[in-house]
Amino acid sequence: MATVGLCAGCAPKADKVIALSFDDGPNTTTTVKMLDMLEKHDVVGSFFVIGNNINDESAEIMKRAYKMGCDIENHSRTYTAMASLSGGQIQEEIKYTSDLIEKYIGKRPEFFRPPYISVAPHMYDNIDLTFICGQGCNDWEATTTVEQRAEMVINNAADGQIVLLHDFVGNEATVEALDIIIPELKKQGYRFVTVPELFKLKKITPDHSKMYTNVLHRWHLTLPHREWRGEHPRILAQ
């Protein structure tokens, strides 16, 4: 594949940081391959896990990620569009997953990615974690090729950005895309960090009333009520 996103003669900017994030694990197949790829390139990422996917076997993969320097965050218990749930149901979704994360790695999550990026004001009232979105590459669609995934991530990369990827079972195309994405963005001067590190390095205090795709910009999603249906639609700045 031809090099994309890097103009001839452009010197990489210093101290550009970006966070890779992965939804829908943990599992003992694709998540393992994602971790192998991160280790191959000596980088870390953030894993947003689904509570119902956590068991004694998959938890070992989660522990491995944490020991590598990755962080483990909350992606709900059942992967339900939570804007339609009651406050009590929302709290149960979050608590169940956060409790399991703490049980297995000894640390509670700080961040939450809403399933389907479905949000409503009462979710912010019932979830005490910072909401995270991310710059996606349509990698939940099997028709998106390895090269297309890589190009979308590389061409849209920005300092302070959170990249939204998936480690659900069978998503090996994203594993392969990482083998293109990581070396190219390193060449452009990017350093890979976790989502918590991204906030700290940019000296940004997470605002629990906002949802972030880039820590240097904030999405105002509490008002008015918004709910997105379908997989990870594009979000426009307010």
CA-only gyration radius of the chain, Å: 17
Is residue 166 annotated as part of the catalytic site, yes or no? yes
pLDDT, tens digit, 9 for 90 and up, residues 176-221: 999 999 999 999 999 999 999 999 999 999 999 999 999 998 654 4
Q: What is the DSSP letter of 11?
A: P
Please pick, among 24, 71, 139, 166, the residue that the annotation labels catalytic.
Answer: 166
pLDDT at 6 over 80: no
The answer to whether 157 and 190 have CB atoms below 8 angstroms apart is: yes
d(CA 130, CA 148): 30
Its pTM surpasses 0.85: yes
pLDDT per residue over 60-95, tens digit each? 999 999 999 999 999 999 999 999 999 999 999 999
CB count within 10 Å of CB 237 equals 9
Architecture of domain 16-212: Alpha-Beta Barrel (3.20)
Q: What is the mean pLDDT of residues 89-118?
A: 98
Q: Mean pLDDT over residues 15-37, rounded?
A: 97
Predicted local distance difference test score (pLDDT) of residue 230: 35
23, 24, 71, 139: which is the annotated catalytic residue? Answer: 23
Cα–Cα separations (whole angstroms), residue 45 to 8, 24, 103, 128, 143: 29, 14, 21, 22, 25
Inter-residue contact 139 to 171 (CB < 8 Å) = yes
CA–CA distance, 181 with 139 (Å, rounded to integer): 13
Mean pLDDT for all residues in the chain = 89
How crowded is residue 83: how many other Cβ atoms within 10 Å of its Cβ? 21
Known active-site residue 41: no
What pLDDT is stored for residue 15 in this prediction? 86
Write the single-letter amino acid at 171: N
